[in-house]
Structure 1
């Protein structure tokens, strides 16, 4: 994100917030996780592949798409064999019923993550968007945060989180074991939200919100 906390301009344009070195590192992270998660809004806006195409020998993580209302089209590029689509219990998602896809119905986020664990997914890299990230953060279901801060200012723009706003600073969720490292022209800030990572909870990275 930018130095003033934006991941895209008001128009939605975000190419690119952070530099090439940061984007390459994100592909290395993808290679290390069982699955990579995005919300339906990200799929509708960007139609991402969610692969490690930046690494010649990279292992593509399993795509996980949170689509409570069944909005994404069956032609989305992320719907490669093995992809998981998480919908509501009564959502009409017949257009997503394919033998090579897994349709997981869940009543809430905790149930969704438990369902992913039953599918053998024990590490989940969350890349966006703001609504899904905000919901998981508010539910205290994120263990680790990784944020690239780019040396640029945007002013008005889109935030990486859409979540209920606390009325007091004392209500903020604080990171622990925080580290900082330069990555190209950007700075990577990394820290934990929980002392001991819990099984099937996602690791949140702000590194590639809207391609940041």
Structure 2
């Protein structure tokens, strides 16, 4: 099961709107088939593993990191494929909460006479499926907030200089984290200041995430994002008051425009995330500035926070990593639990999970 979960994780950022599942098929102590959900969400992990196992699947045990699907799409249900292959036993980590499945896959396996065990390494499977489970359960993608700061919590000097606070090792790991998400999100200020590409670099041929920009007024320069929008998708989340000529210019460049509520001239972060969930996104990686970070934190939308802390101080004149948050008692501010920390080429990487 640990291998199945690990195989599934390799698909993170590449299988949305489907979950990234892993499957391992064994005969005794011998692995005869293994598979992960392929890019784009098809074929599912079980079918990849069954194809590799061939006739050796008969009488075998299949370890699956998520309940096999029970609904007809472009192919028949995976639980039917497992039964047809003659698999004798299925060990499933967790039930799939998708209403199209939600225990039906497990029921179909039992009805086919297959021995079923559910719950092995459930906590690890839930962690690996966090994006998919958040979309199904809350109607929005999981959100990871990333910050690269000085040790006194600044993301730039007072004049806006920020390249580079952290070192090349931290930047390389950031690109690896980007690749494990469906989309990268920034705000208008980041686009105006940095003219970023928001792609994955230095990792060879990888699936590129969507590039998302939250800008209520669409007051953005037509820079590198516009120049590359026809080859690397760009989605612009804008308010209803965005000017028609700005919409037309970005549409002409090849960007997709998505209107979301923007009360007071600011994008409603909760409505934005629900819309992204409706579009099928499961994992979003936010690298925006302090104001976008503050709005997402204030709305309770940050599921994980990853930080890179460098060994320098920029002082009170530097730009804060997080913008102004609503006044609240200390106990009412969102609390995160440290999940991981390590040194990365002289910087410190730390990952926090919402408590």
TM range (shorter): 0.7 to 0.9
Aligned counterpart, 1:65: 213
Q: 2:323 aligns with which of 162, 165, 175?
A: 162
Given candidates 285, 294, 299, the residue that maps to 1:139 is: 299
Q: Which has the larger radius of gyration?
A: 2
TM-score by length of 2: 0.52
**Structure 1 partner of 2:182:** 34
Gaps of 5+ in 2: 1-148, 262-267
Q: How does 1:16-165 map to 2 (within 5 A)?
A: 16-73=164-221, 75-79=222-226, 80-81=229-230, 82-92=233-243, 93-98=247-252, 100-107=254-261, 108-156=268-316, 157-165=318-326
Structure 1 partner of 2:333: 172
Residues 20-70 of structure 1: CA deviation (Å, up to 9, x unaligned): 100000011111111000000000010000011222223221100001111
Give the Cα–Cα distance (whole angstroms) in 2 for the partners of residues 121 and 61 of structure 1: 10
Contact 1:28 1:58 survives alignment (8 Å)? no
Greater relative CO (CA pairs within 8 A, separation 6+): 1
Which aligned segments of 4 or more residues in structure 1 are displaced greater than 4 angstroms? none
Normalising by structure 1, we get a TM-score of 0.85
- Structure 1 CA distance, aligned partners of 2:178 and 2:300? 22
The answer to which structure has the higher helix fraction is: 2
- Structure 1 unaligned segments of length 5 or more: list them: 195-212
Aligned-pair Cα RMSD in Å: 1.6
- Number of equivalent positions: 193
Find the aligned partners of 1:129 and 1:72 in 2 and give their Cα distance: 15
C-alpha distance in structure 2 between counterparts of 1:139 and 1:76, whole Å: 30
User: Matched residue of 1:176: which SS?
Assistant: strand
